[in-house]
Amino acid sequence: MSTLLQQLVAELDAGRLRVIDLTQPLGPDTPVIGLPPIFAPSPGVTIDVISKYDDKGPAWYWNTIHMGEHTGTHFDAPVHWVTGKDLPNNTCDTIEPRRFVGPACVIDITREVEANPDYLLTPQDLERWEKANGRVPKNAWVLLRTGWSTRKTTKEFLNVGEDGPHAPGFHQDTSRILAHDRDVLGVGVETIGTDAGQAGRFDPPFPNHSTMHGAGKFGLASLCNLEQLPAVGAVVIAAPLKLVHGSGSPLRVIAIAP
Ligand code: MN
């Protein structure tokens, strides 16, 4: 008999624990990351009706969906990056499911990002957060709260200037500490991807992807409602579709929080 799980359900029923949806709506209006034109683009979401209580299916409604794996609120598997391509269990269908569940550490840099949309989380920021909240435990989801999900239009969300996109992310030293020293499950962000907007120009380019996936860690992009989570104390469940050899997938990310 599992009294702990019975207690979990009782606490949810009583409202002492809440289920918080960290997922953006997924549809034709979902923004898609832009890449320099020399690279292949990822298509946005298209939805075609198969039948809707009509001649094609009188009693049922269903659709065909078409999109890139990395669309909307989505999961990055280690195989997504060249640094993680030869790791064991690096695809959506082979990752041990235990690794989809972990404690959330929410690091709030909303103020810094308001002043500078290119802000990168520094090791000093992490140190300060750990002084207040304790060390990031092994197998945690580290979620970067930036307020970015409140940007409602695609233009504001992608924030592309003449010199490319501007959006916050991680300093590469911070990614290294989180991946190798704190041994996290992965990182989650409110932005379109887990690297900063300008990270294509960094040396090395896209250091968070490179570091995290090279260490077998995951990414979560386009999260929302992080302001509803405590800095510590919530549990996040982020399980991608079991796509065969999938590099990532849209998913529903939920948190259980006091
Ligand atoms: Mn991705």
Q: Could you read off the pLDDT of 51-60 as tens digits, one per residue?
A: 999 999 999 9
Checking if the pLDDT of 2 tops 90, the result is no
H or E element: which one contains 155? helix 154-158
Checking if the pLDDT of 102 tops 90, the result is yes
Give tens-digit pLDDT for 167-210: 999 999 999 999 999 999 999 999 999 999 999 999 999 999 99
Find the 66 Cα to ligand 1 centroid distance in Å: 16
Checking if the pLDDT of 92 tops 90, the result is yes
> For the chain, what is the mean pLDDT?
97
Checking if the pLDDT of 132 tops 80, the result is yes
Please give the Cα distance from 112 to 121 (Å, whole number).
9
Checking if the pLDDT of 90 tops 90, the result is yes
Please give the Cα distance from 222 to 211 (Å, whole number).
20
Checking if the pLDDT of 238 tops 90, the result is yes
Find the 2 Cα to ligand 1 centroid distance in Å: 37
Q: What is the mean pLDDT of residues 111-118?
A: 98
Indicate which residues carry an active-site annotation. 80
Q: What is the mean pLDDT of residues 230-255?
A: 98
Find the 65 Cα to ligand 1 centroid distance in Å: 18
Find the 242 Cα to ligand 1 centroid distance in Å: 16
pLDDT at 36: 86
pLDDT at 37: 87
pLDDT at 1: 59
Q: In this structure, are residues 37 and 55 in contact, taking their beta carbons and an 8 Å threshold?
A: no
